[in-house]
Structure 1
Amino acid sequence: MRWAHVGLNCHDQCATEEFYTRWFGFRRARTVPVGDGEILFLRNGDTHLELFPTPGEPAAPSATADGPAQPGAVRHIAFQTDDIDELLAAMGEAAHVTLGPLDFDDVLDGWRTVWLRDPDGVVVEVSQGYRDQEAIEITEREIHV
């Protein structure tokens, strides 16, 4: 099994495509005609986003902080960068920060995170300095299989 993609409903598909291509390094990988529009697949390395044209207004207000906390809702999507401050400076007014930047040096030296809102209100986490724990022992009862 391997990761495939995240599907995003877009009020303004062009604005959403521009946001992820300009700031997160995606490029258009495929278009699929559907009805009067098309589904856009964006790619950055092995990561794909599938953008669906969705008419009408968002079902809920734009998320805040690090994303919605309701079960069944995606809290946020996340990316890594080498320098959050550089990204935020480059984005300027396009950076709609919902939380942070916050430092997590008490957990991992050099770990910083900021949360942004994309054009459709999806919260996007951007971190620098995160790395996996070196050794984690998990017992069978912790796995919940």
Structure 2
Amino acid sequence: MTFHHIGIETHDPEASIAFYEKLLHFKEFHRSRFMEETFIFLSNGNECLELICVEEASAQGSLHICFHIEAFEVFLKVLEMEQIAFLEGPYTLDNGWRTVFVQGPAGEIIEFLAEN
């Protein structure tokens, strides 16, 4: 398992893109819609950010951490054996990625993602 991305909610995606491009040299590499939401992925070659477009950002903002996994179905069984409930998913995204969200022990949101 490896780190994949951090997801950040934004109500102004173009301002967020400009901020990360200018300061940290991130570039957009993928944009998609899923379940009425738009997701924009940015990369600087080493790190990946996911901008989650929302109508209104919460006062505190919202983040999640994502880990890349190799064997998605096997990992789902591990989560079930450990009695870790799914918050969302599992889903298959339009680019073929498989994803599921769980809640960590401190209330954090954790996404596990398998790419094609």
TM-score interval, normalised by the smaller of the two chains:
0.3 to 0.5
Pick the structure with greater CA Rg: 1
Higher RCO (C-alpha under 8 Å, 6+ residues apart): 2
TM-score by length of structure 2 reads 0.47
Higher strand share: 2
